[in-house]
Amino acid sequence: MGLKDNPERFHGLLKRLGKAAVALVASAATLAGGMLVAGTAQAAAGPGYYANPMSGSAAGGWWVGTGSFFLGPQDDSKPYKYCVEFSNPYDWQNQGTWTPVDTDDGKKAAYLVDKYQNDGDALTQAALAYAIHDHFDRNQAWWNEAKTKMTLVGGDINAVRNRAATIWAEANDMPSTIQASYRYMQGKRKGTFDPGIKTGDGRWVAGATYTITDLNKVAKFDGSNDYTITGTTTGAEEHLPWTATGNGKTNFQITRKIPRVAVSNSSSQDLLKPTDPETQSANIQFEVRRDFQPTVTTEVNSRELKRGETVQDKSTKDPLHNVTGPFIWR
């Protein structure tokens, strides 16, 4: 849509652009079918780079003025928000409605946005914004042309492009599945437990926070002396020791929080930002025993007897024969 077709929107855009861009906006607005693109409306942008002026012919034409497109978080407030609509200016007062994105790309973006939320490196944040444009931009025709023409103030677009590819590939390392397992170490009284948090292709994950609880309360974790323990994966199989406090079947529940992102739908620039996380859980059950019942065994020397012979046998019993009731491991 051309700016001249929407005077109110054009007026708002003029107010938000820097002085250096105003002359370009005024001239560009007289051209039919084009759009002047603004990537940020605030002076206090997050870490990243401004783009130099550029223009293109895709989808009716577009123009970017000095200081009117920013590659990085769209302001410096947390959580960081990223542009997903190259064709519209950012209006922090009108962000519309937000919808969670639970697609495969949405999960990857959520993992990366969460991972780099506190990273203030300009190259990293510009690269993450670049990758988000690649996978979520509403107008791929404009974005695909713009990224071939883009140069940056104080930054190298090739370095950003390469870093964006590297960052997006990192999403292959995100936690995906829970494949919990257990081992007995001393009968069924003691053992170890592994929450089994892995990538989609079965590799161990480092840095994933988890909580494990025995809902049946028959086994406590030695590390917390409680039926619940929290921890962070190390990138290898975990060996969390447990001890039975009763007899029966455990019900170990493993839970972890999964980051999510949402995208906005507004009359100004649509954005992507973190939203409430999702809870992933899995359960595993196995038998444990805190005590045992002593037994008596008898062994005979022969099952055939001659006339007049007496039966000889060997009996084995617990020496504490006067103790009644089950024996308890200590």
Residue 93 has a pLDDT of 67
Over the stretch 148-180, which tens digit does the pLDDT of each residue have?
A: 999 999 999 999 999 999 999 999 999 999 999
Minimal CA–CA distance to 87: which of 122, 124, 39?
39
Provide φ and ψ at 278, rounded to 5°: -100, 150
Residue 317 has a pLDDT of 56
Domain ranges of the chain: 3-173, 177-267+276-288
Residue 44 has a pLDDT of 53
CA 216 to chain centre: 29
Q: 């995208």: which residue's tokens?
A: 263
Angstrom distance (rounded) from CA 137 to CA 282: 35
Question: What 3-state class would DSSP assign to 148?
Answer: helix
CB atoms within 10 A of CB 34: 21
Angstrom distance (rounded) from CA 13 to CA 148: 25
Question: What 3-state class would DSSP assign to 313?
Answer: strand
Residues 260 and 103: beta-carbon distance below 8 Å? no
pLDDT > 90: what percent of the chain? 63
CA 171 to chain centre: 9
Angstrom distance (rounded) from CA 117 to CA 112: 8
- Fold (topology level) of 177-267+276-288: Immunoglobulin-like (2.60.40)
Query: Mean pLDDT by 10-residue block, N- to C-terminus, for the chain (330 residues)?
Result: 32 30 31 37 70 87 84 90 85 80 97 96 98 96 94 96 98 95 96 96 94 98 98 96 97 97 91 96 96 66 66 58 48
Residue 39 has a pLDDT of 43
Residue 67 has a pLDDT of 81
Provide φ and ψ at 22, rounded to 5°: -60, -45
